[in-house]
Structure 1
Amino acid sequence: MAGAAAGLALTVSLTGCRADGGKSDASGSDKPANGVHLTAAQEALGKASDRTADLKSFRATLSTSSVVNGRQTDLKGDLAFRLKPDPGMKLDVPAIKTPGKTTAGFQEVFSGDTIYLKVPALAKQAGKPWVSFSTTELSKATGVDVKGLESQGRQADPALNAKMLTASKDVRKVGTETVGGVSTTRYQGTFALSDALSKLGSEQRAEAQKIFNQAGLDKLNFNLWIDGKQLPRKITLATPPGAKLKLDTAMNYVDFNKPVSIKTPAKSQVADGLKLKDGGANAPG
C-alpha cells in the first residue's frame, strides 16, 4: 500500500492494531517509571497517550513524501476511521505524484472482514471499479495473519502514534502554535525505533522489527502539536539525514469522536481480489 512504509506506518501495516489494544497504561504513562524522573515535555506526551487511548473515531488528512533509490513519491489523502465498537475506515488519495508525472490515486474502504480497493491498475485487471479482499481468506491463502489490512488508516491512529512517541528521551517544548484554528503546544524530538517498538505487544513488535530492519530505519525525528485537551492535532515524522530511506509524513487531525459512517461499494461493482492474477500484486505501494 502506498505510504505504508512511512515511518510508523510500517508498524501499523504489519500489526493492524493499536499499540495498547485501546487501553491506557494502568500505571499512568505520565508517572515516573523505574524511578526515572520524567521531564515536563515527556509528561505531556504521556498524557496525550493516555488521552487518545479511549478514542472511538477520528478524521485526519495525511501527506507523505518518500525518496527511494533517488525517486520521489508524494501523496495526500483524507481519512475517516471508526475505532469502536467495530473498526471501519474510508480513505481517499486523489493522486500520486512522481517527478514529472501525476497518476490517479486510489480509494480504500474497510468494513467487517473485508477491505475494498479502487485502484486503476486493479480495475483494469478485474473489469470492475472495485476489488475486495477478505482478510480471513487472505490469511488462509498466505499463511500470514493479515487482519490488519486497514493499514492506511491505522498508520494515522493517534493512540498508536502518541504511545510510540513516549519512547523519546530528548523531547522538548518548542512553543505555541495554532493548528487548524486550534491553539496547541508544539513538542519536538527524536526516538529510537527499538525503544518505540517496546511499546507494542510482542507479536506486533517482532513483525514490525523485520520491516524496519529491511528499510534500514533505526531512528525518526518528530514534531507533535497537542491541544488544551491533551489531544494530538498534528504529528510529523521524518527520517534523519543520511538514512537509507528518506521519508516525511504528516498527519493533521481534524476531529475526534464524531460518527463515522462506512458505505461499502455495491456488489455489482466489486471483483474478488484473490481471484486476480498474482492476487492483486499491482495494488498501490
Structure 2
Amino acid sequence: MRILSFGSVPRGVTGAVSAVVLFAGGAVACGGDGGSDPARGEPSGVTPATAVAKAAAHSADIVSLHYRITGTVPEEGRLEADAFMRTDPPAMSMELSTAGRSGNGRLPVRFVDGVMYVGGAAKGRSWFRADPATWGGLTVDNDSYGVLPRQLEGSPVVQSTLLTGSEDVRRVGTETVDGARTTHYRGTVTFDGLRAARDAAPDEATRERRVESLDQFMGLRVSDTLTMDLWVDGDGRAKRFRWQARTDGARGGTGGGPLDLTVTFLDVDRPVTIEAPPAEDTAALVEDAREVLD
C-alpha cells in the first residue's frame, strides 16, 4: 500500500505520513423555473429552484448519515468510499480505496474529537493518529494531512446544497436511486451564482447555508463552472448528487484536472457510533502535529 497523496501536506509531515506506507504494507485496506409536474408526484407550483432550496433546508437538519462515494478526482483518478458521519459532536468514519492502491485495498480513516486515525500496522499497533485534524468544517479549517482528497474533506450534507446557487436549474426526469423514487435536477454552478444566492437569502438560516455552500465551492477550486445533478426523494430530501468540473491546482500550481464525483445518501438519521481506536492500539503519525502546523 502507499499513502494517498491527495491535497497538500503540511511541511514536515510528508515524511511521517510516508512512514505509514512502510509499516502498513498492503493489508489495510435560485435558478430556473420549469414548473411542476403532478404526474411525477410533485406538488403544483413547486419549481425546480424551490425543490432544490427545500432539499437544502432539509439537509441542514441531518444529524447522522451513511453515504457512498464513487468517481474520479484530480491526481488520483478513480476512487470509492463508504462512510458514516454525525454532526453533534462531529465525527466521521470512512473506508477509502483508489485505483492506485495495490490489491484494491481499503484504507480506514476516522475523525473523532479533533484527531485523525489512519489504519496501518507498526510496532504492534493497528492505527496511526495525528492532531489537530478537522473534517467537515470550513475549507480553511479542514486538515487530513494529505490522506483525503480535498473533495472528501467537506461534509456531504453541505455539499449537497450547492445547486441552490444555480441560475439554470431544471428538471431532468424521475429515476430510482438505491430503491427510492426520486426527481432528478441539473444545473450549472459558478462562484458568482452562489454569491448572488447568498446575498438574496430571505432569512438568516438560509444565508448561513448558502455561505457554507460558497465555501465548499471555493474549496473545490473549480476552474470555471461546476455541473451538478441532484436527485431528490419523495420526502423532498437529497438522495444523491453528482459533480462534474475541471479544477485548478492549489495556488495556481499543479494538481488540477477533471472532477467527476457521485455521492449517494444511503441511510439518514439512523444511529451512528464512531469511536476512537483504543489508545494502546495507536501510534503517533508525527510526534506533535501542532508544532508542524505552527
Do Structure 1 and Structure 2 share a fold, with TM-score over 0.5?
yes
Q: Do the aligned partners of 1:90 and 1:107 also contact (CA within 8 Å) in 2? A: yes
Find the aligned partners of 1:171 and 1:2 in 2 and give their Cα distance. Answer: 35
Secondary structure of the 1:218 match is coil
Q: 1:195 aligns with which of 184, 193, 200?
A: 193
Q: Tell me by how many angstroms 1:263 deviates.
A: 2.4
1:220 aligns with one of 221, 226, 244 = 226
The Cα offsets for residues 193-227 of structure 1, whole Å up to 9 and x where unpaired, read as: 3433653269x84x974x55xx5622111111000
| Equivalent residue, structure 1, for 2:164 | 166
Q: Is the 8 A contact 1:186 1:224 kept in 2?
A: yes
RMSD: 4.0
Q: Which of the residues 26, 42, 48 maps onto 2:49?
A: 42
**Match for residue 206 of structure 2?**
none
Distance 2:165 2:217 in 1: 16
Residue 228 of structure 1 and its aligned partner are, at CA, apart by: 1.2
Deviation at 1:253, TM superposition (A): 0.5
Instruction: Answer yes or no: is the 8 Å Cα contact 2:67–2:266 preserved in 1.
Output: yes
* Offset from partner CA, 1:97-123 (integer Å, 9 cap, x none): 13x9655331111111212111x5xx4
Offset of residue 41 of structure 1: 0.8
The amino acid of 1:116's aligned partner reads Y
Among residues 261, 266, 270, which one is paired with 1:249 in the alignment? 261
Q: 1:217 to 1:230 in 2, by over 3 A?
A: same
Give 5+ residue unaligned stretches, structure 2: 8-29, 34-44, 199-209, 250-255
Where do residues 20-59 of structure 1 align in structure 2 (5 Å cutoff)?
40-59=47-66
**Where does residue 99 of structure 2 map in the other structure?**
97
Corresponding pairs, count: 230
Contact kept in structure 2, 1:109 and 1:117, CA below 8 Å: yes
- Report the Cα distance in structure 2 between the residues aligned to 1:127 and 1:46, rounded to whole angstroms: 50
Looking at CA atoms only, which structure, 1 or 2, has the larger radius of gyration? 2
Measure the CA separation in 2 of the matches of 1:242 and 1:39.
36
Matched letter for residue 61 of structure 1: R
TM-score normalised by the chain length of structure 1:
0.66
Q: Is the CA contact 1:221–1:237 (under 8 Å) kept in the aligned structure 2?
A: yes
Name the TM-score, length of structure 2 as normaliser: 0.65
Determine what percentage of the aligned residue pairs are the same residue.
22
Q: In 2 relative to 1, CA 161–178 (structure 1 residues): closer, same or farther, beyond 3 Å?
A: same
Query: Could you say what secondary structure the match of 2:161 adopts?
Result: helix
| CA distance 1:145–1:48, shift in 2 (3 Å) | closer
